[in-house]
Amino acid sequence: MIFYYLDLLGVAVFAVSGVLAVSRRGLDLFGVLVVATLTAIGGGTLRDLLLDRHPIFWIADPIYLLVIAVATLGAVLYMRIRSHPGKVFLLADTLGLALFTLSGAQIAESLDMSPGIVVVMGTMTGVAGGVMRDMLSGKIPLILRRDIYATAALAGATLYLLLQALTMPRSWAFAFGLAAVVGLRLIAILHGLRLPVFRIP
Amino acid sequence: MIFYYLDLLGVAVFAVSGVLAVSRRGLDLFGVLVVATLTAIGGGTLRDLLLDRHPIFWIADPIYLLVIAVATLGAVLYMRIRSHPGKVFLLADTLGLALFTLSGAQIAESLDMSPGIVVVMGTMTGVAGGVMRDMLSGKIPLILRRDIYATAALAGATLYLLLQALTMPRSWAFAFGLAAVVGLRLIAILHGLRLPVFRIP
Amino acid sequence: MIFYYLDLLGVAVFAVSGVLAVSRRGLDLFGVLVVATLTAIGGGTLRDLLLDRHPIFWIADPIYLLVIAVATLGAVLYMRIRSHPGKVFLLADTLGLALFTLSGAQIAESLDMSPGIVVVMGTMTGVAGGVMRDMLSGKIPLILRRDIYATAALAGATLYLLLQALTMPRSWAFAFGLAAVVGLRLIAILHGLRLPVFRIP
């Protein structure tokens, strides 16, 4: 049940990040709604397609679309008051990354996938929505920037499995996994931390 | 039956729009054919994948690929005579947007989806082919430009449902939905109309 | 069985091409791994989704992910010694294009698809991974460049069917198909060959 609400939250924050990503593009309101929707359901839709889970989560349960509409409207109104989307964007994107990574991992795990698949599925679910948003809005995907991004997703999904292997209950492991993704990403942003970069000598 | 022919028409006009989109890129004929094919089947393929309709429409019925090949050849030959693709491109894209939006909505409706899903599925089916085409050819997706685009698809799909709720027969509602998408989009292009734009103050 | 090893090889070389494509972007190691993975499984995943083959190949058999990890590490280490990725990139991409084109065609054929579908499915499987890689890394997709690319895939898949129709055993036809894709592409690159270009007069 808690997973369901977290999934709704993930959809909402990714919708917000979609709104902020195109906030300077001069789209009309419905155009913004379409971009927000694609961002919000991209990762989970890919997850469900890959795992052959039908109906897709937002087709099975229309509440998701309602949440997206409300989150989009809220973000649009917020933008009329406060005009610097930078920090809020990074926060919404980070929270969305964390929530979808863990939900992707948890669902793959509940289908008895092997640990490697669980981690890959989690990471892919987490990064897909943001990649679609960035490519749609003509930006370089965050995944290709130098700060810790995919790495945070990978670490969170791995931690989630590891803690359960150490007999921690699933919901606690989920929470620690979330915290790991958010923490790693925010620390990396705040302190400009980077993993050793792969670069041609 | 009429829906089948309209679907074929949608595939054809999107193939043409794909050809025109890359007409200045110096692709060879087979490369053009691949781009045209991806543009033409992108929206419907996404629709079928999301709704778990297998086999996918163009796998089930090879006539679609034949239509794409013929439309592509026709567009290539046309381009050798008339060299200003702008207007024809917008027309083909608008018609494709309308046809796929309504076909997506109609198929979702025939699977007993809720009204919200029908509208979203219609809009998504309508815009997906064009988005893939634009991203593939390195352009800013039409969906992100300021004129009425996603809004037209949304309005058409909504009108289609609304008119049926008012007891209009399905095929009439389909026709009015089509006309709404094409009309809104063309009027917007011709008169430079835009919805109130969402922009940071 | 031989098809299985060739599929593994295809995954490996596309992973390498993914590494080389982002080698100058300053990603950290895990970021590189994510891009390599998406490149390597993109084409085959699309193939399995379109043909409704579940579980997806890399979900069914985790060895694929292991191969990707090893190939990625190998490519990263190689790049620390030799720093000119150009030729190796083209070679890895060409081999991946050939292997996935033929594997896509072979699998569609084994599902009794019509010849047109087999050729389209092969071409699409072959080009999809590279297109995703190029779009993800902000490059113009190879498919849109002027040298023979999609054409080579199309020719290879067609030859594969043609030779079998002439009663050649499947594995031989597969080998000739591979050779056709690689040969056409390499000859085109080496000699700057192009098909007659489709261009506005």
> Predicted ipTM?
0.85
Residue of C198, C199, C200 to mutate, interface with B, max B Cβ within 10 Å: C198
Per CB-CB distance under 8 Å, the chain C contacts of B65 are 116-117, 120
B195 touches chain A (CB under 8 A): yes
A83 reaches B (C-beta below 8 A): yes
CA-closest candidate to residue A158, choices C33, C35, C46, C27: C33
Residue C92, pLDDT score: 87
Q: Which residue of A has its CA nearest to C52?
A: A52
Q: By percentage, how much of chain A surpasses pLDDT 70?
A: 92
DSSP letters spanning A6-58? HHHHHHHHHHHHHHHHTTTTT-BHHHHHHHHHHHHHHHHHHHHHHTT-SS-HH
Round to whole Å and give the CA distance between C93 and C132: 12
A113 in contact with C at a CB cutoff of 8 Å?
yes
pLDDT mean over C159-172: 94
Is C138 part of the contact surface with chain B (CB cutoff 8 Å)? no
Asked if pLDDT for residue C15 goes beyond 60, the answer is yes
Nearest to C50 among B28, B56, B65 (CB): B56
CA distance B185 to C4: 50
- DSSP 8-state secondary structure symbol assigned to residue C24: T
Which of C48, A55, B66, B36 is closest to B58 using CA atoms?
B66
B151 and A27 in contact by Cβ < 8 A? Answer: no
d(CA A97, nearest CA chain C) in Å:
14
Contacts of B128 in chain A (CB under 8 A): none
Chain C partners within 8 Å of B54 (Cβ): 52
The residues, ordered by sequence, that sit 6+ positions from C56 with a Cβ below 8 Å of its Cβ are: A50, C44, C45, C48, C49
Output phi, psi for B166, to 5 deg. Answer: -90, 20
Q: Looking at beta carbons, which residues of chain C come within 8 Å of A104?
A: none
Q: Within chain B, which residues score under 70 in pLDDT? A: 83-85, 146, 194-201
What average pLDDT does the segment C38-57 reach? 93
In this prediction the pTM is 0.89
Is the pLDDT at C42 greater than 70? The verdict is yes
Report yes or no: C116 at the B interface, CB cutoff 8 Å. Answer: yes
8 Å CB contact of B131 and A136: yes
Q: What is the pLDDT of residues A69-93, one digit of tens each?
A: 999 999 988 887 776 667 778 888 8
pLDDT range class, residue A198, cuts 50, 70, 90: low
Instruction: Categorize the per-residue pLDDT at A197 as very low, low, confident or very high, splitting at 50, 70 and 90.
Output: low
